[in-house]
Amino acid sequence: MPRSLEIQTDSFPIAGTFTISRGAKTSAEVTLCTIGDGGMIGRGECVPYRRYGETLESVAAQIEAVRPLVEAGLTREELQHAMPPGAARNAVDCALWDLEAKRSASSVVARLGLLRPQPLTTAFTISLGEPEVMAAQARANADRALLKVKVGTGDDESRIRAVRLAAPDAAIILDANEGWPENALEHHLRVAAEVGVALVEQPLPAGKDELLAEIQRPVLVCADESVHHTGDLASLRDRYDAINIKLDKTGGLTEALAMKKEAQRLDFRIMVGCMVGTSLAMAPAVLLAQGVDFVDLDGPLLLARDREPGLRYAASLVWPPDAALWG
């Protein structure tokens, strides 16, 4: 009996509004891929990202295009050549991991050789806004161990200082989402260093970040939009200290694991991040994030409702997934 493939789109309201330098959103629009085989099903969720030209419709079309291959028994290794990196391949890849685990009566944890995956300290995101609004968000979450603060304007000093004052004990990641103009870069990095920021993420636009190789970087700088898959890494060594691995960029856990290994070989610091999605999208990323330097898997915490069952979150910690959710 051939495999079955189902494609479903879902919308999950965000608690409030999620705002970055490119705009605001009030819901997370996700695609669910379900692959059935022999009475077992595997699930994978992806979040199409317009920054990369993806929509719910385009992702569904990409998955639909490989339906004959999936139903004929496509493997994860074959999938890497059948689809390009991106959200669509992520949904299929993670569904295949989940299906393999269920069919083998094993678990993804066992298949990865993780003896005892641990709960991880995840960042919690502070949306971009006026300094006093961001300070209020930071103050309400000042007991969290790690805050990821969205910036990305030509004048972010007041935002950086306001958040640090409101959350004096939290470690802070600044995420500019490509939004800092070149003439503000060095100033903002100096301010970040002065207030003890741990990491600055993607300050300049992808493809226009050469300046990072020419200046002194007083804070660790992390590539996000500039890095998608393993082949990108070698060209970034002169301008970035860290990379952000996201399953929706790499096209799934299979490529993300290879990317993590190569990034470690090249001495990059590693963040495992996410788009705004549900616990189903975060679950494989929690396993990928074991042992990395920074974890940003707070997507479900930003939603008004999550999938059931979901991941366990408490304070700043997120636990590995139970088999009922994924893997």
Cross-strand partners of 42: 35
The single residue of 102, 148, 246, 260 carrying the catalytic annotation is 246
Give 25-29's long-range contacts (Cβ < 8 A, gap of 24+): 25/276, 28/275, 28/276, 28/277, 28/278, 28/299, 28/302, 28/303, 29/56
Cross-strand partners of 322: none
Nearest 5 degrees, angle CA 320-CA 326-CA 327? Answer: 80
Active-site annotation holds for 150? yes
Active-site annotation holds for 246? yes
Do 127 and 17 touch, CB atoms closer than 8 A? yes
Q: Which residues contact 2 (CB under 8 A, 6 or more apart)?
A: 71, 72, 73
In this structure, the strands spanning 120-121 and 124-126 are unpaired
Instruction: Using the structure block, give the residue that is written with the tokens 């969720």.
Output: 45
As to burial, measured by CB atoms within 10 angstroms (0-12 exposed, 13-18 middle, 19+ buried), residue 116 is exposed
Q: How distant, in Å, are the alpha carbons of 110, 184, 252 from that of 152? A: 41, 10, 28
The single residue of 102, 150, 249, 260 carrying the catalytic annotation is 150
Name the residues annotated as catalytic: 150, 246
